[in-house]
Amino acid sequence: MIKKVSFKDQIYEQLKQEIITGEMRTDEIYSEQMIADKLNVSRTPVREAVLQLRFENLVDVFSGRGFSVRPIHFFDVQQIIQARTAIEGASLRALIIGLDTAEGREVLEEMERYVKQDMPAALVDNNYNFMRLDMEFHMLSVSFTGNEFFIQIMNMMRTRLEQAIVSSLKKQNRTIAAIDEHEKIFSAVNRHDTDGAIRALVNHMEASESILREMMDD
C-alpha cells in the first residue's frame, strides 16, 4: 500500500536537506511565513516541520521571531563518532558471525553493490546523495543485528551524522577516499576478518574526525 506523503513531511525533508547541505545558515533567523511563501504552502505544515526539526536538535525556535539552524560543534562530532564506533563495531562482529545465513549473504551482497556500483556512480552527483549512500551502507550491518536499541540510537543521531558527513565530504577528494575506506570494511567482512573489519571502521571514523577537526578549527 502506497502511503501519501503529507505536506509536513515534504517540508521537513526539504528543510532538513537545506540544513545538512549548509544552504540554510546558522547565523540567520528564518520565519515560518518566509518558508511558507517560498514553498507556496500555508504556515501550519511549516510550523509542524519546524517543531520536528527542533525535536531532533537541528533548530532553535524563538517565540515570535522564528527559528535558526543549530550549529554542530566538534564536541558533538566526537561523541557521535564514539557512539558509532561502538555500535557499528558490535554490528560488524555480529554480521561476520552470521555471514553463512541467507540474511548475512544478502547484506554482504548489498555492501558490495554500494562500494562497487552505487557510491562510485554518485561521485558525479552531489554530496547530499553520496552522504545518503554512506549512511545506508553503515546501517546495513546495524539493521542486520535486529537490535532495536542500536537501530534507535543510530536513527536518533542520523541527522547529526548526516550533517557531519556532508561537512567532511566538502574536503577535496574526500569522496574518493571514503569509497576506499568503505571498500576496506567490506573486504574484511567478506574475508570473515572481524579484527580487520573493526580496524577498517576505526580508520574510517578517525579519518572523518580528523577532517572535521580541521574544518571546524578554521
- β-bridge mates for residue 69, sequence order: 59
Domain spanning 74-217: CATH 3.90.1150.10: no
pLDDT at 1 over 50: no
pLDDT band at 57 (very low <50, low <70, confident <90, very high): confident
What confidence score (pLDDT) does residue 179 get?
94
pLDDT at 2 over 60: no
What confidence score (pLDDT) does residue 172 get?
66
Choice among 121-125, 142-146, 201-205 with the minimum mean pLDDT: 121-125
What confidence score (pLDDT) does residue 3 get?
45
| The model scores a pTM over 0.85 | no
Count CB atoms within 10 A of the CB of residue 119: 23
What confidence score (pLDDT) does residue 138 get?
96
What confidence score (pLDDT) does residue 156 get?
82
pLDDT at 9 over 60: yes
pLDDT tens digit string along 106-137? 999 999 999 999 999 988 777 888 888 999 99
pLDDT band at 77 (very low <50, low <70, confident <90, very high): confident
What confidence score (pLDDT) does residue 204 get?
95
Helix axes of 148-169 and 194-217: crossing angle, nearest 10 degrees: 50
Count CB atoms within 10 A of the CB of residue 39: 16
pLDDT at 162 over 90: no
- Provide the H-helix boundaries in the chain: 7-21, 32-39, 43-55, 74-97, 102-113, 119-121, 127-145, 148-169, 174-190, 194-217
Which CATH code is given to the segment(s) 7-69?
1.10.10.10
Do 7-69 and 74-217 show the same overall fold?
A: no
Whole-number average pLDDT of the chain: 89
pLDDT band at 218 (very low <50, low <70, confident <90, very high): low
Stretch 30-44: mean pLDDT? 92
Q: Cα dihedral angle (127, 128, 133, 139), rounded to 10 degrees?
A: 120
Residue boundaries of the structural domains of the chain: 7-69, 74-217
